[in-house]
Chain A
Amino acid sequence: EVQLVQSGAEVKKPGESLKISCQASGNTFTTYWVGWVRQMPGKGLEWMGTIYPRDSDTRYSPSFQGQVTISADTSINTAYLQWSSLKASDTAIYYCARRRGINSPFDLWGQGTMVTVSS
Chain B
Amino acid sequence: EIGLTQSPGTLSLSPGGRATLSCRASQSVSYYYLAWYQQKPGQAPRLLIYGASRRATGIPDRFSGSGSGTDFTLTISRLEPEDFAVYYCQQYGSSPFTFGPGTKVDIK
A interface residues with partner B (beta carbon < 8 Å): 35, 37, 44-47, 50, 59, 61-63, 95, 97, 99, 103-112
* Closest residue on chain A to residue B94 by CB atoms: A103
Which applies to chain B's interface (DSSP): helix, strand, loop or mixed? loop
Cα of A23 to Cα of B44 in the assembled complex, Å: 16
A112 to chain B, nearest CB (A): 6
Give A109 to B45 CA distance when docked, in angstroms: 7
Q: How far is the CA of A99 from the CA of B31 in the complex (A)?
A: 17
Interface residues on B, range: 20 to 34
Q: Which of B1, B39, B88, B102 contacts A62 (CB 8 A)?
A: B1
Which residues of B are in contact with A by a Cβ distance under 8 Å? 1, 31, 33, 35, 37, 39, 44-47, 50, 56-57, 88, 90, 92-93, 95-102
The one of A62, A104, A105, A110 in contact with B44, judged by C-beta atoms closer than 8 angstroms, is: A110
Cα-based distance from A99 to B93 in the complex (angstroms): 12
Select from chain B the residue with minimum beta-carbon distance to A61. B96
Q: Please, could you name 28 A-B residue pairs with CB atoms under 8 Å apart, sorted by A? A: A44-B88, A44-B102, A45-B37, A45-B39, A45-B45, A45-B88, A45-B90, A45-B99, A46-B99, A47-B97, A47-B98, A61-B96, A62-B1, A62-B96, A63-B96, A95-B45, A97-B45, A103-B33, A103-B93, A105-B90, A106-B37, A106-B45, A106-B47, A107-B47, A107-B50, A107-B56, A109-B45, A111-B44
